[in-house]
Amino acid sequence: MPRSPHPARPAPWPHTKEQHTMEHHIVAEMTEPGGSTLKEWHMVRTGQSVSMCGRDLDMNQSQLPSDAWGTEQARPFCHTCGALFLREVP
């Protein structure tokens, strides 16, 4: 069996970290830690626990998919997060 100089191995994919579409979701901020009164919703990049406006959020709070942005379900929504999200999503 001849040895091939270029074995047909699947090449490792070096650029998997670079994604074109950034994933987001929406996380609720309560008026007080552990409280049940919603203050406003923030946009968070998936995998982070800090909102796009820089707020530390409790990831155990209610969450919504990023699709819910702009709907009644995600109101009131943080103005800073909304503006930043608009710039990040085409």
Q: Which of residues 29-48 bind Zn ion (CB under 5 A)?
A: 42
Nearer to Zn ion, 51 or 66 (CB): 51
- Contact between 66 and Zn ion by CB under 5 A: the answer reads no
DSSP for 6-66 reads: S--PPPP-TTTT--SS--EEEEEEESSTT-SSEEEEEEEETT-SBBTTS-B--TTS-EEEG
Task: Tell whether residue 74 is a contact of Zn ion (CB under 5 A).
Answer: no
Stretch that binds Zn ion, among 5-13, 31-39, 58-66, 70-78 (CB under 5 A): 70-78
